[in-house]
Amino acid sequence: MAIESQEAVSAAILKRLSEIRMRMDAAAKSVGRSTQDITLMAVTKTVPPQQVNVAVAAGVTYLGENRVQEFLSKRDAYDRRAEVQFIGHLQTNKVKQVVGKVTLIHSVDRESLLSEIAKAARQQDLIQDILLEVNIGGEASKSGVMPDELGALLEKAMECPDVRVRGLMTIPPRFETVTQAEECFARMQSLYQQMKITAPQLEILSMGMSGDYETAIRYGATIIRLGSALFGARVYPQPQL
Ligand SMILES: *Cc1c(COP(=O)(O)O)cnc(C)c1O
């Protein structure tokens, strides 16, 4: 692979960002929404902080972290104008390393994780903002609470003074067709509206990634999480032989 200059890499990020913003605008307009109600999150996995900061300097305000170790090793190098949020699967034994260090945890999908987060928040004397992650495709291998168990988890979370539930998040299955994506996002939107009846304070619907963010916007997403559309294809480190 050719080694690109830092300037070329930055220019490519800025070009992708302006394309994304145009597409966000068009998708929002097509359903009568305002782009201001939708926040673009830059998903940083495998991306060096220097490149992440190019996006922040260009106005990206949310950074999404997947892995605890990677987050801890990169956080000090990030431009402080951005808020860092946690979007990856979270093991209960790593909760303490995340609570209080991120403004929002998107991936709360079970009671044991909820109580661990609450405990860590209480110890630090803070209230941790969270989203509940829903397994909208009902796939056995995926994280996320099943839709029919969401109400019970939401109730538990609302009883808990150490966390504040701000909304819902989903990672839908990989789709063959746009129609399948639409079905999932539509189901997620109606679930969100249903939950808002008992919890009107919910205001965040985190859904849509590089391949489907325009569809997600049309179904009410308020945070879209983009990695490759912004930074290019991810390059995972080669295992050492
Ligand atoms: C990697 C990741 C994304 C971004 O994926 P892209 O397809 O590269 O945009 C979004 N959300 C989560 C939870 C992720 O792990």
Distance 226 CA to ligand 1 centre (A): 6
Model confidence at 1: pLDDT above 60:
no
Residues with CB under 6 A from ligand 1: 43, 45, 66, 87-88, 171, 209-211, 225-229
Q: What's the pLDDT tens digit per position in 76-105?
A: 999 999 999 999 999 999 999 999 999 999
Q: Which of 41, 62, 66 to mutate to test the pocket of ligand 1 (most atoms within 8 A of CB)?
A: 66
pLDDT score of 109? 98
Residue 66 Cα: closest atom of ligand 1: 15
Average pLDDT score over the chain: 95
Q: Indicate the residue type of 196.
A: K
Give 116's Cβ-side CA count (13 Å radius).
Answer: 17
- Class of residue 116 by CB neighbours under 10 A (exposed 0-12, middle 13-18, buried 19+): buried
Residue 231 Cα: closest atom of ligand 1: 8
Distance 8 CA to ligand 1 centre (A): 23
Distance 159 CA to ligand 1 centre (A): 30
Distance 164 CA to ligand 1 centre (A): 24
Name the pTM for this structure: 0.95
Model confidence at 55: pLDDT above 70:
yes
For the chain, domains (ranges, CATH) are 2-231 (3.20.20.10)
pLDDT score of 235? 83
pLDDT band, residue 237 (cuts 50/70/90): confident
Distance from C-alpha of 33 to C-alpha of 217, rounded to nearest angstrom:
9
Distance from C-alpha of 202 to C-alpha of 24, rounded to nearest angstrom:
22
Distance 45 CA to ligand 1 centre (A): 8
Q: What's the pLDDT tens digit per position in 128-186?
A: 999 999 999 988 888 999 999 999 999 999 999 999 999 999 999 887 788 888 999 99
Of 103, 104, 98, 43, nearest in space to 69 by CA: 98
Both tokens of 131, joined, read 């989203």
pLDDT score of 121? 98
Q: Which of 17, 39, 43, 107 to mutate to test the pocket of ligand 1 (most atoms within 8 A of CB)?
A: 43
